[in-house]
Amino acid sequence: MVGKYPVITLCGSTRFKDAFLEVQKRLTLEGNIFISVGLFGHSGDDDVWMEGTKEMLDDMHKRKIDMADAIYVINVGGYIGESTQSEIEYAQRNGKTIEYLEKL
């Protein structure tokens, strides 16, 4: 397929690093461009926990949502944390399509 590729921002807890990687691969093969997290704080990227970094990353992720057509929520086991819920609400307010890995 050649043409316009939808842009999707991935949202979800960084504890699900393996799920992020699987979803990234699938979405790419389906002809999507994805935007993902830059660090996996709950999976060993300790730089996230330096003063001010988590707040910056949360804000930056909202800017990633601004650039996307849709968000894809990686909600393994139905889990949606506080940051992810905030991103879902932000996407809703801004008219983005929202898809989930697992049904709610």
Q: Looking at residue 44, which CATH number applies to its domain?
A: 3.40.50
How many other CB atoms sit within 10 Å of the CB of residue 36? 19
pTM as predicted:
0.88
Domain count, the chain: 1
In a domain, 2, yes or no: no
Cite the beta strand spans of 4-103 per DSSP E. 7-12, 33-35, 70-74, 97-100
Structural domain including 55 reads 7-100
pLDDT tens by residue, 26-82: 999 999 999 998 777 665 556 666 677 778 888 999 999 999 999 999 999 999 999
Provide the pLDDT for residue 44: 59
